[in-house]
Amino acid sequence: MNNKNNEQIEILGDNHFSANTETPLRADAFDKSDDEKIKNIQHHFGMIMKEMGLDLTDDSLSGTPYRVAKMYIKELFYGLDPANRPKLSTFNNKYGYKKMLVEQNITIDSACEHHFLPIVGHAHVGYIPKDKVIGLSKINRLVDYYAHRPQVQERLVLQIRNDLQKVLDTEDVIVSVCAKHLCVSSRGIKDKNSFTTTLEYGGCFADKAYRDEFLTIIGQQAV
Ligand SMILES: [Zn+2]
One-letter identity of residue 167: V
CATH value at residue 74: 1.10.286.10
One-letter identity of residue 157: V
Question: What is the per-residue pLDDT for 1?
Answer: 47
**Backbone region of residue 116 per phi and psi (left: phi > 0; alpha: psi in -120 to 50; beta: other values):** left
In a domain, 223, yes or no: no
Predicted confidence (pLDDT) per residue in 152-200, tens digit: 999 999 999 999 999 999 999 999 999 999 999 999 999 999 999 999 9
Range of the structural domain that residue 29 is part of: 3-84
114 is catalytic: yes
The answer to whether the CB of 179 falls within 8 A of the CB of 140 is no
Å from CA of 95 to ligand 1 middle: 44
Catalytic pick from 42, 114, 148, 165?
Answer: 114
Neighbour count for residue 196 (Cβ, 10 Å): 16
Furthest C-alpha separation in the chain? 64
151 is catalytic: no
Q: Are residues 73 and 100 in the same domain?
A: no
221 is catalytic: no
Question: What is the per-residue pLDDT for 220?
Answer: 59
Question: What is the per-residue pLDDT for 77?
Answer: 98
Instruction: Report d(CA 60, CA 136) in Å as an integer.
Output: 42
Catalytic pick from 124, 148, 178, 183?
Answer: 183
One-letter identity of residue 26: R
Catalytic pick from 122, 165, 181, 200?
Answer: 181
154 is catalytic: no
Question: What is the per-residue pLDDT for 4?
Answer: 64
Å from CA of 180 to ligand 1 middle: 10
Neighbour count for residue 8 (Cβ, 10 Å): 10
112 is catalytic: yes
Q: Do strands 173-181 and 118-127 pair parallel, antiparallel, or not at all (unpaired)?
A: antiparallel
Question: What is the per-residue pLDDT for 126?
Answer: 97
User: Does pTM top 0.85 for this prediction?
Assistant: yes
Q: Are residues 73 and 160 in the same domain?
A: no
Question: What is the per-residue pLDDT for 9?
Answer: 80
Question: What is the per-residue pLDDT for 222?
Answer: 44
One-letter identity of residue 18: S
Q: Are residues 94 and 177 in the same domain?
A: yes
Strand partners, 106: 123
Residues of the chain with pLDDT under 70: 1-4, 15-20, 220-223
Å from CA of 119 to ligand 1 middle: 8
> Which residue among 64, 84, 104 closes a domain?
84
